[in-house]
Amino acid sequence: MTRPLSSTSQDIEIHPRLTDPLLGDLLHPDRLLWTPRELTDLTATVTTELTGSLRGLLRFDEDRRWWARLALTGGVELWLLSWLPGQQTKPHDHGGASGSFAVVQGELDEEYRYPGGPVRRRRHTAGDGIGFGAGRAHQMTGAGTAPAASVHAYSPPLVATREYASLAEVPAEIPPLPAILSR
């Protein structure tokens, strides 16, 4: 399902249907920890420059949200997600990872909270993007009347999320997971 571009410690795995060399150039395999700003730049560029390729991958499923991993390096993980109106995540954090997402098409509603802060709401439309630090918890919902799609990036990659019954349950501090402590 993925194709390694090299056999060194700087491997990049890219979805086999993404053949544009630009993606490999954007992934910087030597960068082991990305800032929210760098993640925002990545998702914004992928969303605007690879739109046709992304739309060729998209699937929409009425029974559940759909997603596909676009790329993985030692420092970043990149995903494409689809959303029908009303489809949503559970409230969750990203286990101490920083993240970003950019909307490819449609609209997404986001409720989010930083530890100790109020729950806030925001609507994101096609072309919008946002980066966030390790302490943010949120819930995403497909909004509007048309299907939506978004590109998400996380650093460090492969960090387990923690789910909550509601955003009100987000603890005063989101502790790093052991995967982050051992890096």
pLDDT at 137 over 90: yes
Residue found under tokens 């998400």: 152
pLDDT at 175 over 80: no
Q: Which amino acid is at 77?
A: E
Mean pLDDT of all residues in the chain? 90
pLDDT, tens digit (0-9, with 9 covering 90-100), for 87-106:
999 999 998 899 999 999 99
Q: Which amino acid is at 63?
A: D
Distance CA 78, CA 125 (A): 19
Q: Is the peptide bond before 156 cis (omega within 30 degrees of 0)?
A: yes
Are the CB atoms for 71 and 4 separated by under 8 Å? no
Pairing of strands 3-4, 13-14: antiparallel
Q: How many CB atoms lie within 10 A of CB 93?
A: 27
For residue 60, what is the domain's CATH number?
Answer: 2.60.120.10
Distant-in-sequence contacts of 3-7, Cβ < 8 A, 24+ apart: none
- Full residue range of the structural domain in which residue 66 is found: 3-181
pLDDT of residue 172: 81
pTM: 0.89
From 183, 179, 168, 155, select the one nearest 75 (Cα to Cα): 155
Number of domains in the chain: 1
Q: Which amino acid is at 153?
A: A
pLDDT at 108 over 60: yes
Confidence of residue 5 (pLDDT cuts 50, 70, 90): very low
